[in-house]
Amino acid sequence: MRNEAPIIDALFVRLIPVLTGLRMSYEIICIDDGSTDATLEELLRSRAQYPAMRVLSLSRNFGKDVALSAGLEHSRGAAVVPIDADLQDPPELIEPMVAKWREGFDIVYATRDRRAGESLLKRASARYFYRIFDRITDFPVPHDTGDFRLLDRRVVDVLVRLPERTRFMKGLFAWVGFRQAAITFDRPERGGGASKWSYWRLWNFALDAVTSFSSMPLKVWSYLGVVISLCAFLYALFLAGLKIVRGIDVPGYASIMVAVLFFGGVQLISLGVIGEYLARTYNEVKGRPLYLVRDRWGFDDEDPADR
């Protein structure tokens, strides 16, 4: 959760009956990812009413995927269901997820048939991003699927052991494998508050995803260099042919300027791609903690903290 104070009551009104109806023991781990509104106060107030709640407050905003990793690391159940607080992930789907899990599936993910309340640009960019991602990686990521899914304990144990700091969780969920099944639903609009995802954040999210799971952006420049070199060689043969056959000198200023600007742009783009990978390598080798915990409520002493 980040700045979700207006919707906390509505979330638990729907979530608690679903969990109670499963007739299983459960815990609710709420991650406060550096909220600047009354989210933490509302969570502590709700905890007095719902004893199964545990609250983990991070020292600042670390981002959704890191906050999700913190929740997975502090979970103790035989199965774990990450869910957003904005009610776009209907809690009622947890019951069919558990049914699939009991059939023997290790991961049960929820795929969206419709995405209400999202712009055409956002829906189109998400659709084409995942199709491109599938083509440049060695494993498919389910389309139109978020972090809302059920994870078996052995899957969670694998995920929390993965060491990378730049975490694209949807890719990690697909990378670990195991037996996976899907259920579909129509995604509703937010139950309250506003989305924290600007187009700039979505762009950086896409860069993190691609650089975390594919080296194709680095390799493509080798192929592009071969193509450009071949075109340059053919153009040189063309100019030599004009000179030999017709004795015509080709005016060169405009073509030289175009070539210089074009190749300068290509070089800057290639350096930018290398820089993206280098920056992420730099972040990995620093070895800083994935997140820091400011405070927590309801956890036993033996639970991990300040990872």
Does the pLDDT at position 303 exceed 60? no
Read off the pLDDT of residues 131-156 as tens digits, 9 standing for 90 and up.
777 677 777 777 777 888 899 998 99
pTM: 0.68
Distance CA 32, CA 4 (A): 9
Distance CA 170, CA 139 (A): 12
Among 33, 25, 107, 36, smallest CA distance to 70 is for 33
- Identify the H or E element spanning 193: none
Read off the pLDDT of residues 103-132 as tens digits, 9 standing for 90 and up.
889 899 888 877 655 666 666 776 777 777
Read off the pLDDT of residues 61-99 as tens digits, 9 standing for 90 and up.
888 888 888 899 899 889 999 998 888 888 898 999 999
- Identify the H or E element spanning 187: strand 180-187
Read off the pLDDT of residues 238-287 as tens digits, 9 standing for 90 and up.
767 766 766 665 566 556 766 776 777 777 777 777 777 777 777 777 77
Q: What pLDDT, on a 0 to 100 scale, did the predictor assign at position 117? A: 56
Does the pLDDT at position 193 exceed 60? no
Among 110, 107, 121, smallest CA distance to 188 is for 110
Instruction: State the pLDDT confidence band at 163, using cuts at 50, 70 and 90.
Output: confident
Read off the pLDDT of residues 21-47 as tens digits, 9 standing for 90 and up.
888 899 999 999 888 888 888 888 888
